[in-house]
Structure 1
């Protein structure tokens, strides 16, 4: 069960039931399935509230496009007005939830072709975002303090599992990652926001 960026995704029941995660239905999935909407939502979750103009500058888009797609995201419950900041002429937006989970297996076999297409768009865009973030890190890692030279990882593993064991492993990995979420207070010297991508999928024998 993938989860869009907090921009990432969780199969563990404890994560799915968390109040700050939004589980989408077929209708809201179709509303999310647009590359710019996914990037806007990811930016709001990672960097915090912003105006359409600020998001346009960050993402290299026009403010007209970001404004339109923000309103669409709001209509489907993914973003909302930020009342603490929206007191001037510009409208401020914030993510309504920390993350978004969806049952990709159910949507991939959905009778409506639009739903099947929508989940494909969302998953491909998530994969693209993960690759973009990792490549950005590799290209800028020399700019980080020396301590971070050891505090990162790119690894892959291969093993033989059943679907049930694969799901169990994913759940344990997510549970471990979540256990670190609130250990470091905001403003701690030397700390940084860390992104963790989890990919687990079967491969053909030949």
Structure 2
């Protein structure tokens, strides 16, 4: 029997919770496409507000460097002041958005060389971060309880698809992942990173 609301009408399926995402344009891409800025922004998104000194300690950088790059991120609208955190005069920062969306048109031939270079640097840094996160997990997995060691995945699949089918698959995967946001709190939860990669490969002649 279909589920109903208080008025006795059929309840519509709840759409997956979508994160607040910033879509990059040429200017914001050039402002973000720097390895340290990308890692600082990811840290603020995953771990919450922090000061330049705290980010420097976590990332093995000088506080002067993190301060400079925080100002650059703020100038491009990626971070903002986080009032109400800490005491004293040190400035706290927080991420403005939960995620970043990349527009592949930034890599097309009509894009200017500086933008294409920034796009290339941005995507390669994401690939580097994904690789490092997997390596960190593999090196640290022995310290996790068995249920968590069994609740991980490193699979790959080979399919034959059209571009439209591949796009549909990607959207369905994203919707599925987003449907797990904001679940009721439980005692044994942990932060879980989910990577998805989908790309064509040339067949051998």
User: How does the TM-score come out when normalised to structure 2?
Assistant: 0.88
CA distance in 2, matches of 1:134, 1:141: 10
Aligned to 2:173: 173
In the TM superposition, structure 1's runs of 4+ consecutive aligned residues that sit over 2 Å from their partners are none
Within 2, Cα distance between the matches of 1:26 and 1:63? Answer: 28
> Cα distance, 1:22 vs. partner?
0.9
| Matched position secondary structure for 2:80 | strand
Report the secondary structure of 1:61's partner residue: coil
Q: Distance in 2 between matches of 1:56 and 1:175?
A: 35
Per the alignment, residue 200 of structure 1 pairs with 198
Q: Does 1:131 align with 2:131?
A: yes
Q: For 1:159 and 1:166, how far apart are their aligned partners in 2?
A: 9
Q: Deviations over 1:100-126 (max 9, x none)?
A: 11202x000143111101111110000
Q: How many angstroms does 1:145 deviate by?
A: 1.3
SS class of match (1:193): coil
CA RMSD of aligned residues (A): 1.5
Separation (CA, whole Å) in 1 of partners of 2:155 and 2:170: 16
Q: CA shift at 1:19, angstroms?
A: 6.9
Where does structure 2 lack aligned partners over 5 or more consecutive residues? 1-14
Q: TM-score, normalised by structure 1?
A: 0.88
* 1:107 and 2:129 correspond: no
Q: How does 1:21-170 map to 2 (within 5 A)?
A: 21-85=21-85, 88-104=88-104, 106-109=105-108, 110-170=110-170
* Cα separation, partners in 2 of 1:140 and 1:90, compared to 1, 3 Å: same
**Aligned residue pair count:** 188
SS of structure 1 residue aligned to 2:169: helix
**Following the alignment from structure 1 to structure 2, what is the Cα–Cα distance between the partners of residues 74 and 102?**
19
Residue 25 of structure 1 deviates from its aligned partner by 1.2
Tell me if the contact between 2:19 and 2:98 (Cα under 8 Å) persists in the aligned partners: no
Query: If you compute each CA radius of gyration, which structure gives the higher value, 1 or 2?
Result: 2
